[in-house]
């Protein structure tokens, strides 16, 4: 594998798919975002379109394309003052090696644009280039008398999203390293979480292990929810202390070279799942395994989601929570009272990666489908998450209108006795191949027996 060649191939593939015979394209990496009221900045994230096509993640930089001349890379090298405060910046030779292009100072962009003023201009990447051109050491576009063509920009951007769906070997290599770092953190949490430990303290241990295992940062804000907090889909860790009898849900992923992993495990704080927790966990796990098994090229992700909904509905009928036929329950969104989110999403340079829905498909406004973030047929090379869950979410289950609408379909007495249970989600990252999907996060314990064995060991210590 030659990462530089792969980045050059991405550019060639995208340029072919654009099919431009004239025009100018600028792909901006983005400017550091100031923290209002301070002299500091938020952690910098290069725009995914720039990172994908340039193979680097420098701020205030622009990748430019013109069909006659091909690709040019303009980088903001440090000023003499920057050198005093933040050092000499990136080594131009390293940038050239990573991108396969000779980086030019960003100050040359204006002169490069000058003779192209009459051409249609597409602005991609971070649109702060139009709003804050000075940050790119560029006079305003009005001074150049050019104005970006929004329709062209949107079309070209969509083409990049489509190209980014199937991952190349360099991307998969980063995603495997991200998955390995996630494994280390989740395993540590599974083996060391203890009663009396705050969710926040568990987050600190988990993330420290991600970083020790090679993560550059976390791919998203880590979710650690214990007891009832496990029912908050994006729960920020709190000072709540883990208690015996609680479930703890950890949805956290390491990021490596810009690539995300996204993993959820749910385990008991005590050494064993308690009776009903165990039944629910087995149902979520069986639903997740079936979806992974069915994830093949050509399969519509929406159909995987709906099959998972039917399994969850059938399981909840068996467990005395829902009443009716699974098909009817899913048709009227009764399953979504307990599984309100989608089965998962594309994963890559973003946690909810671009291009998750085919062009022209928009999420349905049905309660059971509106949070489905992927709606397309799977293809080899796509990386998606598979993350069913069952939750007892008071914000849904205490809603009088829903209680009325689903009066017959739900055993409300039983539900009311479970409102403190929290929730269970199991999430893995899978690579779609011609054959069975490869689970990139496969070696993070997930079976009931292996989780209980690790928890029992943690308790014996």
Give me the residues that bind ligand GLY (CB under 6 A), please.
220, 251, 262, 345, 351, 387, 427
Q: Which does 116 bind (CB under 5 to 8 A by kind): ligand GLY, Mn ion, none?
A: none
Q: With CB cut-offs between 5 and 8 Å by kind, which of ligand GLY, Mn ion, none does residue 44 bind? A: none
* Cα dist from 458 to 191, 202, 278, 451, whole Å: 5, 14, 19, 11
* 262 binds Mn ion per the rule CB under 5 A: yes
Find out whether 347 and 261 touch, Cβ atoms under 8 Å: yes
Q: Which of 194, 197, 220 is nearest to 207 (CA)?
A: 220
Q: What is the dihedral of CA 210, 211, 215, 217, to 10 degrees?
A: 100
CB 375 within 8 A of CB 357: yes
Distance from first CA to last CA of the chain, Å, rounded?
A: 44
Toward Mn ion, which CB reaches closer, 60 or 260? 260
> 234: Cβ–Cβ under 8 A, 6 or more apart, which residues?
221, 223, 251
317: which 2 tokens?
């009928």
Contact 120, 152 (CB under 8 A): yes
Question: The tokens of 263 are what?
Answer: 């993993």
| Binding flag, residue 428, Mn ion (CB under 5 A) | no
Nearest CB to ligand GLY, comparing residues 25 and 346: 346
Smallest distance from ligand GLY to CB 261, Å: 10
CB of 96 to ligand GLY, least distance (A): 35
Beta-carbon contacts of residue 41 (< 8 Å; ≥ 6 apart): 32, 33, 34, 35
Residue 220 touches which of Mn ion, ligand GLY, none (CB < 5 to 8 A by kind)? ligand GLY
Nearer to ligand GLY (CB atom), residue 199 or residue 251: 251
- Comparison of 74 and 301: residue with beta carbon closer to Mn ion: 301
385 binding Mn ion? (CB under 5 A): yes
Q: Are 110 and 144 in contact (CB under 8 A)?
A: yes
Minimum separation from the CB atom of position 372 to ligand GLY (A):
12
Q: State the residue for tokens 């946690």.
A: 351
Q: For the CB of residue 180, give the shortest distance to ligand GLY in the complex, in Å.
A: 18
For the record, the structure tokens of 79 come out as: 């000023």
Among 251, 255, 333, 429, binds Mn ion (CB under 5 A): 251
User: Which segment (144-152, 189-197, 278-286, 377-385) binds Mn ion by CB under 5 A?
Assistant: 377-385
Considering the complex, what minimum distance in angstroms separates the CB of residue 219 from Mn ion? 9
Return the number of the residue (257 or 353) whose C-beta is nearest ligand GLY: 353
Question: Residue 218, interface with Mn ion (CB under 5 A)?
Answer: no
Binding region for Mn ion (CB under 5 A): 251, 262, 385, 427
């Amino acid at each position: 594998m030659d990462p530089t060649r792969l980045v050059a191939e991405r550019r060639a593939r995208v340029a072919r798919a654009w099919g431009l015979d004239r025009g100018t394209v600028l792909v901006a990496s983005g400017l550091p975002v100031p923290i209002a009221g301070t002299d500091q900045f938020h952690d910098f994230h290069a725009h995914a379109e720039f990172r994908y096509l340039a193979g680097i993640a420098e701020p205030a930089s622009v990748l430019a394309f013109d069909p006659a001349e091909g690709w040019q890379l303009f980088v903001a090298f440090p000023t003499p003052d920057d050198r005093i405060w933040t050092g000499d910046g990136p080594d131009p030779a390293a940038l050239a090696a990573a991108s396969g292009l000779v980086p030019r100072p960003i100050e040359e962009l204006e002169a490069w644009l000058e003779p192209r003023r009459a051409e249609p201009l597409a602005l991609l990447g971070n649109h702060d280039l139009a709003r804050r051109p000075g940050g790119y050491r560029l006079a305003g576009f009005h001074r150049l008398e050019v104005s970006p063509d929004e329709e062209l920009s949107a079309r070209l951007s969509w083409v990049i999203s489509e190209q980014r769906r199937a991952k190349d070997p360099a991307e998969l290599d980063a995603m495997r390293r991200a998955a390995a770092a996630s494994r280390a953190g989740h395993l540590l949490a599974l083996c060391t979480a203890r009663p009396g430990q705050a969710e926040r303290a568990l987050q600190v241990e988990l993330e420290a292990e991600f970083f020790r295992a090679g993560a550059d940062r976390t791919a998203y804000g880590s979710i650690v929810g214990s007891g009832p907090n496990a029912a908050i889909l994006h729960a920020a860790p709190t000072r709540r202390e883990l208690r015996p009898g609680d479930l703890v849900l950890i949805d956290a992923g390491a990021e490596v070279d810009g690539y995300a992993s996204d993993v959820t495990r749910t385990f008991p704080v005590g050494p064993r799942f308690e009776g009903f927790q165990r039944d629910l966990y087995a149902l979520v796990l069986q639903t997740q395994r079936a979806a992974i098994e069915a994830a093949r090229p050509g399969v519509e992700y929406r159909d995987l989601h709906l099959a998972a909904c039917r399994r969850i509905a059938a399981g909840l009928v068996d467990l005395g929570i829902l009443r009716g036929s699974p098909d009817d329950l899913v048709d009227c969104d009764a399953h979504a009272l307990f599984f309100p989110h989608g089965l998962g999403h594309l994963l890559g340079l973003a946690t909810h990666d671009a291009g998750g829905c085919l062009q022209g498909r928009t999420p349905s406004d049905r309660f059971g489908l509106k949070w489905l973030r992927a709606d397309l047929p799977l293809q080899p090379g796509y990386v998606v998450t598979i993350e069913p869950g069952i939750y007892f979410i008071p914000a849904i289950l205490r809603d009088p209108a829903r209680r009325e609408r689903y009066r017959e379909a739900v055993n409300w007495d039983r539900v009311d006795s479970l409102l403190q249970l929290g929730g269970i989600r199991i999430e893995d990252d899978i690579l779609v191949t011609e054959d069975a999907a490869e689970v990139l996060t496969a070696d993070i314990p997930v079976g009931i027996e292996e989780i209980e064995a690790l928890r029992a060991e943690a308790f014996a210590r």
